């Protein structure tokens, strides 16, 4: 279920919005998207990016 959710989001935010010149271009852009998804994308539930969410506990302690 988690992977299905990720692929659904990836398709709507990334795949359907771009055109790729080649397979190599697609691979580079996919790597960039995964980095964005894992570090900078604001999660609706948390209202924070994953990095902000993880580091907020370091600042509290």
pLDDT, tens only, 22-47: 999 999 999 999 999 988 888 888 78
Q: Residue 8: what pLDDT? A: 94
Round to whole Å and give the CA distance between 48 and 4. 22
Q: What residues are paired with 19 via a beta bridge? A: none
**pTM (global) more than 0.85:** no
Q: Pull the structure tokens for residue 61.
A: 């302690």
For residues 7, 41, 14 and 23, what is the CA-based torsion angle, rounded to 10 degrees?
-90
Q: Residue 61: what pLDDT? A: 57
56, 48 Cβ separation under 8 angstroms: yes
Q: Pull the structure tokens for residue 23.
A: 């397979």
Round to whole Å and give the CA distance between 33 and 20. 13
Q: Residue 33: what pLDDT? A: 94
Q: In the structure, what pLDDT confidence band is assigned to residue 50 with cuts at 50, 70 and 90? A: confident
């Amino acid at each position: 279920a988690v992977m299905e959710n990720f692929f659904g989001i990836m398709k709507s935010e990334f795949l359907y919005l771009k055109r790729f010149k080649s397979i190599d271009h697609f691979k580079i852009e996919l790597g960039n998207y995964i980095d964005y998804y894992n570090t900078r994308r604001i999660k609706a539930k948390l209202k924070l990016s994953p990095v902000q969410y993880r580091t907020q506990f370091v600042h509290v302690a």
